[in-house]
């Protein structure tokens, strides 16, 4: 499991450019599913055929990043965000472009409290616009440049959001035994800019039930915002975030399965943020949807931390859903 996670989090996959990630995922699961294809927007969709309910699971393959908007005469790059970035976590950090070019994020003088994105720049070591243009073009995307770090029970990396969700689905697919449902596992594109891939995937699949697998914030660090989710306390079953109110049937199903299968869980209310379930539940005439969240500290920073126990509980919950008759749907 650790090597799978390391492989996925160290991949290059900014929003809109998920193919390196989905190619790797495909190689892990292709022997375990009946169909595996990439759709026009870049979603990887794996299907395990069955005659029961049509269930769509979705974990997003993309990660937050930056896009080059301007190159100045001295070779410094100006950039915009792709997905939500915390400006303070950018300072001193490094980014990596698709071609391997590395840059350091610096800032103009001024008070930290007045920091805005347009006061930041990327230094790729070029000393002129001409030199910079040999390495990078306007519109190029970069991701955080950070290696996977094994702390034992806890793991730290960039893009745990949401490669850890992808890893949960990969592991569930590989361990899947009996299920008579028609199961779709979507590794979605472009979640970070507004759940775009999940929207078209759900339209095509038209599921009876939708489940997103994504990270959520925690309230367990010093002076953290008040939130009743902690690392290591189990799979978080979402009740609400700003994209969806979990359908009571879906939430109750997950709670029932967690209790009957002795899966450690916690209930989650995320006050700001959303997941693919936000798009899935609004598909066609509506799809009962919910989310299994992996608790994660420092979300949207280059050092997102998760607990392996929680990951295992999330895998178990996905498998419990696959095995259940799902009579209420
Ligand atoms: Zn996410």
Kindly report, residue by residue over 272-327, the tens digit of the pLDDT.
Answer: 999 999 999 999 999 999 999 999 999 999 999 999 999 999 999 999 999 999 99
Residues 285 and 207 in one domain: yes
pLDDT of residue 178: 81
Tens-place pLDDT, residues 122-133:
999 999 999 999
What pLDDT sits at residue 127? 95
Q: How remote is the CA of residue 297 from the centroid of ligand 1, in Å? A: 13
Is 270 part of any domain? yes
Stretches where the chain sits below pLDDT 70 are none
- Give the strand pairing for 265-269 and 289-295: unpaired
CATH number at residue 265: 3.40.630.10
- Does residue 78 sit in the same domain as residue 186? no
How many angstroms separate the CA atoms of 207 and 186, rounded? 12
The verdict on residue 329 lying in a domain is no
Distance from residue 72's CA to the centre of ligand 1 (Å): 33
- What is the CATH classification number for the domain harbouring 126? 2.40.30.40
Specify if 95 maps to a domain.
yes
Of 102, 120, 144, which marks where a domain is finished? 144
In a domain, 222, yes or no: yes
**What was the pLDDT predicted at 215?**
98
225 CA to middle of ligand 1, Å? 19
Question: 136 and 264 share a domain?
Answer: no
Output the pLDDT for position 196.
96
Residue 191 appears among annotated catalytic residues = yes
What's the number of domains the chain is made of? 2
- Is residue 241 within 8 A of residue 276, CB to CB? The reply is no
Last residue of a domain, one of 144, 173, 199: 144
The CA–CA distances, whole Å, from 15 to 143, 179, 189 equal 10, 32, 7
Expressed in angstroms and rounded, the spacing between residue 215 Cα and the centre of ligand 1 is 6
The whole-number pLDDT of residue 176 equals: 94
Is the same domain home to 186 and 305? yes
Q: In what order do the strands lie in the sheet with 265-269?
A: 35-38, 44-48, 182-188, 54-60, 209-216, 289-295, 235-240, 265-269
Catalytic residue among 63, 191, 192, 268: 191
On whether both 47 and 82 belong to a single domain, the answer is no
Do residues 36 and 128 share a domain? no
Does 84 lie in the same domain as 43?
no
Tell me, yes or no, whether 204 lies in a domain. Answer: yes
Do 131 and 165 lie in one domain? The reply is no
Mark whether 266 and 168 lie in a shared domain: yes
Mark which of 144, 176, 197 sits at the end of a domain: 144
Q: Is residue 313 part of a domain?
A: yes
Please give the distance, rounded to the nearest whole angstrom, from the Cα atom of residue 101 to the centre of ligand 1: 25
The per-residue pLDDT for 177 is 87
Judged on CB neighbours under 10 Å (0-12, 13-18, 19+), 19 is middle
- Tell whether 154 and 263 lie within a shared domain: yes
- Determine the distance separating the centroid of ligand 1 and the alpha carbon of 160, expressed in angstroms: 8
Centroid of ligand 1 to alpha carbon of 131 (angstroms) = 36
My answer on whether 155 and 77 are in the same domain is no
pTM over 0.85: yes
Question: Does one domain contain both 130 and 242?
Answer: no
Q: Who surrounds ion ligand 1 at CB < 5 A?
A: 161-162, 214
Range of the domain at 55: 2-63+148-323
Residue 192 alpha carbon to ligand 1 centre in Å: 7
CB atoms within 10 A of CB 199: 20
Residue 107 belongs to some domain of the structure: yes
Domain annotation covers residue 245: yes
Strand-strand pairing, 141-144 and 35-38: unpaired
């Amino acid at each position: 499991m650790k090597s799978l996670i390391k492989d996925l989090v160290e991949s290059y996959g900014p929003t809109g450019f998920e193919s390196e990630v989905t190619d790797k995922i495909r190689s892990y699961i292709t022997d375990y599913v009946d169909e595996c294809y990439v759709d026009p927007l870049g979603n990887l969709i794996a299907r395990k055929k069955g005659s029961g309910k049509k269930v769509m699971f979705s974990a997003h393959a993309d990660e937050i990043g930056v896009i080059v908007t301007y190159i100045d005469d001295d070779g410094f790059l100006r950039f915009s965000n792709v997905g939500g970035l915390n400006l303070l976590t950018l300072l001193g950090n490094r980014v990596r472009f698709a071609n391997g070019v590395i840059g350091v994020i610096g800032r103009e003088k001024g008070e930290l409290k007045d920091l805005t994105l347009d006061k930041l720049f990327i230094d790729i070591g070029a000393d002129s616009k001409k030199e910079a243009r040999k390495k990078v073009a306007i519109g190029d995307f970069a991701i955080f440049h950070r290696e996977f770090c094994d702390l034992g029970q806890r793991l730290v990396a960039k893009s745990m959001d949401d490669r850890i969700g992808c890893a949960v689905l990969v592991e569930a697919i590989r361990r899947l035994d009996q299920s008579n449902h028609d199961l779709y596992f979507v590794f979605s594109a472009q979640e970070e800019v507004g759940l775009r891939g999940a929207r078209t995937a759900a339209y095509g699949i038209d599921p009876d039930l939708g489940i997103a697998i994504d990270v959520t914030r925690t309230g367990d660090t010093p002076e953290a915002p008040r939130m009743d989710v902690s690392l290591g306390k189990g799979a978080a079953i979402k009740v609400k975030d700003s994209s969806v109110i979990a359908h009571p049937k879906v939430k109750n199903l997950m709670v029932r399965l967690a209790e009957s299968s002795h899966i450690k869980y916690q209930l989650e209310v995320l006050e700001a943020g959303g997941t693919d379930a936000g798009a899935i539940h609004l598909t066609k005439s509506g799809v009962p949807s919910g989310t299994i969240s992996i608790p994660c500290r420092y979300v949207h920073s280059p050092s997102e931390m998760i607990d392996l126990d929680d990951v295992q509980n999330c895998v178990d919950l996905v498998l419990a859903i696959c095995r259940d008759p799902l009579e209420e749907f």
